[in-house]
Amino acid sequence: MAWEKTMNHSYRWVIVAAGALMTCVALGAMFSLAIFLEPMSLDTGWSRAGISSAMTLNFLVMGVGGFAWGSIYDRLGARPVVLAGAVLLGLALVVASRANSLLIFQLSYGVIVGLAASAFFAPMIALTTAWFDTNRSLAVSLVSAGMGVAPMTISPFARWLISAYDWRTAMFDIGVMAWVLLLPAVLLVRQPPAALAAADGAPAPVTDDPGMSVGQALRSPQFLVLGMTFFACCAAHSGPIFHMVSYAMACGVAPMAAVSIYSVEGLAGLGGRLLYGVLGDRLGVKPVLITGLAIQAAVIAAYLAVGRIEQFYVLAVIFGATYGGVMPLYAVLAREYFGPRIIGTVFGAATMLSSLGMSFGPLAGGMIYDAYASYSWLFIGSALVGLGAAGIAIAFPPQPNRQRLQMA
């Protein structure tokens, strides 16, 4: 019995490793579109706006897909969901690499890749929360760290393939690579022992799950606060992230140096996920989240006062660590408020709201710059939205140890 417990305790880190690999490959493949943009446009004659619209479709489909996959996870478990995602991801990339029309490319890369990518994030995060009673924030942060590793692995690999061959061969090879890496990883995915016992008909352990339906959960004050905070958090940082390179160049920073600011943010995000994960386990998720959101708002505002590359780097470290660090904490809160039974659906719905928030920033920033030839109002508005996110987060009720959730 003790041996079995030790094995289960060790295997939960296998789940974390599998989740990190899946998010790295899936999100890395999706975001590598920026690497393909120029060679695709030159080779096919398709407009850059038309090719880039596939990324807009990715965000929209990911939002809806995360909710749908989360619901399926609650019913069938994680393995069928990530298996479908792995098959679809490789298939979409292979089809996109052979697309002879822009419409076919947008449907395959924009819709199917987005649908496939959403099959990994919310379900694997939900599964990880089910495996961990301790160190839950750290574990979730490590799974989401795969997103931070993606720009440093998949994107350079895509660039090398394009230089060595051409964009079609590169995209085809990445699709095959996705199958090679993800399909074996699917075999490592298991439900935690308690869930398996319940599925086999054994008595389930007593939990604090109040037995809420999905509809009741999505109408509850807890979800409203969770969803609104997640939405406002992403709406606050998406604009500055997307327009950071352009803003730095407008401040007089050289183009290559401006691009490096984005890389510094990504690297800092990896450390931030670990830092905030450890702090969330030790100090509690709610105070760490509120503090992180307040820091995020302050750093966004501070960008208005910088002009030199060294100053940008300092803020990029803090900004990247903060927005990267707070993102996994929402899953931990969802698990603690709603329990394991409907975590996939609830967190999928929250992820959908966050995707909508992410879609606002880039568009708003472009409209503001077109109107005023300046990004100042983007950073002012984003900082205010960030403060709003921190204010909403304060409304989180105490975490329910043995309390029943409020019913709307």
- Over residues 123-148, the pLDDT tens digits come to 898 888 888 877 887 888 888 877 77
Instruction: Identify whether residues 92 and 231 lie together within a single domain.
Output: no
Give the C-alpha separation, 33 to 52, whole Å. 8
Q: Are 170 and 249 found together in one domain?
A: no
Q: Is residue 408 situated within a structural domain?
A: no
Q: What is the pLDDT of residue 399?
A: 57
* For residues 228-254, average pLDDT: 86
Task: Look at phi and psi of residue 211 and say left if phi exceeds 0, alpha if psi is from -120 to 50, else beta.
Answer: left
Report the C-alpha gap between 144 and 170 in whole angstroms.
26
Do 222 and 366 belong to one domain? yes
pLDDT > 60? residue 86: yes
Q: Using pLDDT thresholds of 50, 70 and 90, give the confidence band for residue 5.
A: low
> Is position 283 within any domain?
yes
Is pLDDT above 70 for 210?
no
Q: What is the pLDDT of residues 165-183, one digit of tens each?
A: 899 999 999 999 999 999 9
Residue 284 included in any domain = yes
Structural domain includes residue 405: no
Q: Are residues 88 and 234 in the same domain?
A: no
Question: Lowest mean pLDDT: which of 6-10, 35-39, 131-135, 164-168?
Answer: 6-10
CATH number reported for the structural domain that contains residue 173 in this entry: 1.20.1250.20
Percent of the chain residues past pLDDT 90, beyond the cut: 32
Is residue 133 within 8 Å of residue 269, measured between CB atoms?
Answer: no
Q: Can you tell me the mean pLDDT for 57-76?
A: 85
Q: What is the mean pLDDT of residues 205-231?
A: 75
Looking at residue 38, its pLDDT comes to 76
pLDDT of residue 172: 96
Structural domain boundaries, residue 110: 15-28+44-188
Mean pLDDT rounded to a whole number for the chain: 83
- Three-state secondary structure along the chain? CHHHHHHHHHHHHHHHHHHHHHHHHHHHHHHCHHHHHHHHHHHHCCCHHHHHHHHHHHHHHHHHHHHHHHHHHHHHCHHHHHHHHHHHHHHHHHHHHCCCCHHHHHHHHHHHHHHHHCCCHHHHHHHHHHHCCCCHHHHHHHHHHHHHHHHHHHHHHHHHHHHHCCHHHHHHHHHHHHHHHHHHHHCCCCCCHHHHHHHCCCCCCCCCCCCCCHHHHHHCHHHHHHHHHHHHHHHHHHHHHHHHHHHHHHCCCCHHHHHHHHHHHHHHHHHHHHHHHHHHHHHCHHHHHHHHHHHHHHHHHHHHHCCCHHHHHHHHHHHHHHHHHHCCHHHHHHHHHHCCCCHHHHHHHHHHHHHHHHHHHHHHHHHHHHHHCCCHHHHHHHHHHHHHHHHHHCCCCCCCCCCCCCCC
Mean pLDDT for 65-92 is 91
Which residue, 188, 203, 227, sits at the end of a domain?
A: 188
Does residue 209 carry a pLDDT above 70? no
Determine, yes or no, domain membership for 206.
no
pLDDT in tens, 262-293: 778 878 888 888 888 888 888 888 899 999 99
